[in-house]
Amino acid sequence: MVGMTKKKTAFWVAVFLLPNLIGFLTFIVFPLLSSLAISFTNWDLISTMEFVGIYNYKQLMVDKEFWAAFTHTVTFIIGYLPLVMIFGLACALLLNRKVKLRAFFRAAYFLPVVTSWVAVSLVWKWLFNPSYGLINYFLSFVGIEGLNWLQDESLAMPAIIITSVWKDIGFVMVLFLGGLQNISTSYYEAADIDGANSWKKFWNITLPLLTPTTFFVTIISLINSFQVFDQVMIMTEGGPGGATNVLVQNIYNHAFRYFEMGYASAMSWILFIVIFVITLIQMKMQKRWAD
């Protein structure tokens, strides 16, 4: 009877898991394997697929546009990641205190996270406008005038980074807030007895005990950084002069503008491998972080 009960339980578990399994196979596994197969062809969406072996991958190794896009993506990450971590942590520390209107400020800082990238990008595009944008207006008070943010090759990427940091601070803040609220107050009470100041408490208690949260935030933010696209597409379309042409923008261009689906799929797999390897390295280093 016990064996029959276990079989019935296993049967009903399988029945209830089946819809999720079908969805996973249909929308995750099948597209993933399809893109891998397409990456070995020269398919243009119209003609019959022609198998070309690893030709697309060989071309990528000598494609200057691809490596330029890779460099721009790394530049974005170097600018974006430290800023979003520092400001997200600062907001979390501030709003973890008993301040007036704390719930309001928490909601206000999180609001950009649930706002669509289209709306955020259009608003910041207006703010960066050289003629009537508010950023140039305020900069004029300190003697800085005439910055053409989105049309200047040296300023376009910083503009994209500023926009991205502003939108994602709330997400990082919520994660750090969760980590801060898991730290026992007894540590701070003991530090008070020892006469530790605020900086020593932050450096010796808060920061070490936030290590698991910091590790998680770093991985998530890094993966998202490699996939930066929406704000680039809306604000600059990869310009000016290709200065903000990041990897996903480059994949989009080859797939849907030049109809080189095989080449675009090969780039997608290179991007996947890069993210996978970096994540794997970070996971291997997790123990060192925790120690």
What pLDDT shows up at residue 247? 93
Write the Ramachandran bin of 30: left for phi over 0, alpha for psi from -120 to 50, otherwise beta. alpha
The length of the chain is 291
Mean pLDDT throughout 112-122? Answer: 92
- In angstroms, rounded to a whole number, what is the distance separating the alpha carbons of residues 87 and 221? 13
Residue at 229: amino acid letter: F
What pLDDT shows up at residue 198? 87
Average model confidence (pLDDT) across the chain = 90
Mean pLDDT throughout 125-142? Answer: 91
What pLDDT shows up at residue 3? 60
How confident is the model over 44-82, as pLDDT tens digits?
888 888 999 999 999 999 999 999 999 999 999 999 999
Q: Enter the DSSP assignment of 205.
A: I
* 51 bridge partner residues: 41
- The backbone torsions φ and ψ at residue 187, rounded to the nearest 5 degrees and listed phi first, read -65, -45
- In angstroms, rounded to a whole number, what is the distance separating the alpha carbons of residues 157 and 165? 12
Beta carbons within 8 Å of 195's beta carbon, 6+ residues apart = none
| Confidence band for 106, pLDDT divided at 50, 70 and 90 | confident
- Measure CA 57 to chain center: 25
The CB density around residue 263, as the number of other CB atoms within 10 Å, is 27
How confident is the model over 148-206, as pLDDT tens digits?
999 999 999 999 999 999 999 999 999 999 999 988 889 888 888 888 888 898 898 99
- In angstroms, rounded to a whole number, what is the distance separating the alpha carbons of residues 259 and 254? 6
- In angstroms, rounded to a whole number, what is the distance separating the alpha carbons of residues 163 and 127? 10
